[in-house]
């Protein structure tokens, strides 16, 4: 069972020690950078940012950061973004990525209906693992590219109920 827990003083160091495999380091921002982004976004008040540690049972296995925006740059209306999903290298290739993605989708669905119509995410064009994972979870590439040069994909929440 996958759960999300808030980042606290008690689990912060463990979260910062999580690492992706060497061949994935160009695909995923570090957890330090992600938490810094969350702090800046919180200070600027432009986004609602939700960073969490990802747990399998009592074991921290990864990190996820979701955001909510009233006006998404690609969708035009209220939407969520899975801005980061990383699993520690020792927990990869076990199906946890799919479980964490579905948990994120389910978590977003707990918010009041009408809050957002869609969930966006992005990934490097040559990150075939991410592309396969997100496609299997129902995300569809939009044909758009974000400011970092990543491909944008969307899950339509209204059509996926």
> pLDDT confidence of 56, banded at 50, 70, 90?
very high
The tokens for 40 are 């800046």
pLDDT of residue 79: 79
Compute CA distances 45 → 62, 65, 114, whole Å.
Answer: 26, 16, 21
Residue 110 lies in a domain: yes
The Cα 62–Cα 19 span in angstroms is 8
pLDDT in tens, 63-72: 999 888 776 6
pLDDT of residue 161: 47
Q: State yes or no: pLDDT of 97 exceeds 60.
A: yes
Residue carrying the six token digits 């040559």: 126
Residue 161 lies in a domain: no
When comparing pLDDT for 129 and 158, which is higher?
A: 129
4 and 103 in contact (C-beta within 8 Å)? yes
Domain count, the chain: 1
The share of the chain scoring above pLDDT 90, in percent, equals 25
The Cα 21–Cα 10 span in angstroms is 25
Residue 38 Cα to chain centre, angstroms: 12
Residue 22 lies in a domain: yes
CATH code for the domain of 72: 3.40.630.30
Residue 108 lies in a domain: yes
Could you list the residue range(s) of the whole structural domain that residue 54 is in? 2-156
Among 46, 146, 129, residue whose Cα is nearest residue 92: 129
């Amino acid at each position: 069972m996958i759960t999300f827990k808030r980042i606290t003083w008690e689990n912060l160091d463990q979260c910062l020690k999580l690492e992706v495999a060497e061949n994935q380091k160009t695909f995923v921002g570090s957890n330090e950078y992600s938490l810094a982004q969350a702090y800046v976004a919180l200070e600027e008040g432009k986004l609602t940012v939700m960073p969490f540690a990802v747990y399998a049972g009592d074991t921290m296995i990864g990190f996820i950061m979701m955001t909510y925006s009233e006006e998404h740059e690609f969708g035009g209306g209220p939407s969520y973004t899975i801005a980061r999903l990383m699993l520690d290298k020792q927990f990869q290739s076990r199906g946890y990525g799919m479980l964490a993605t579905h948990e994120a989708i389910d978590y977003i669905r707990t918010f009041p209906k009408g809050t957002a119509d869609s969930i966006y995410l992005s990934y490097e064009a040559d990150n075939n693992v991410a592309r396969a994972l997100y496609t299997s979870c129902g995300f569809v590439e939009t044909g758009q590219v974000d400011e970092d040069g990543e491909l944008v994909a969307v899950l339509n929440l209204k059509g996926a109920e």
